[in-house]
Amino acid sequence: LILDEPTAGLDPDAEATLLESLRSSGVAVIVVSHRPAVLSAADRVITVEAPEADPSTSSGNGEEDSGNGTDPLAEPVEAP
């Protein structure tokens, strides 16, 4: 089972209920999340970091990338 941000719209109680249900389901679950509660419930955490962008290269859409080479949303998340 692969879930992408499954707790994004949930309150803390519903989030805890979902995480407990997933944990007790007996199936392998891959979850993509930025929430610390989800990460702390995991058996294993894999952090995916975005590579540094090179502002001198093309963005692939035919236009030059005018970014500054950093992505504030690409900060790695470490498991507690």
- Locate the domains of the chain by residue range: 1-49+68-80
Q: Which of 25, 42, 24, 21 is nearest to 33 (CA)?
A: 42
**Residue 31 forms beta bridges with which residues?**
3
Distance CA 55, CA 41 (A): 38
Quick one: pLDDT at residue 34? 85
The residue assigned the tokens 């389901």 is: 25
Answering whether pTM is above 0.75, one says no
Domain 1-49+68-80 carries which CATH code?
A: 3.40.50.300
> Contact at 8 Å (CB) between 77 and 39?
yes
The 10s digit of each residue's pLDDT in 29-68 is: 999 998 888 888 888 998 888 777 766 655 555 554 445 5
Residue carrying structure tokens 């992505």? 71
Closest Cα partner for 5 from 29, 36, 40, 32? 32
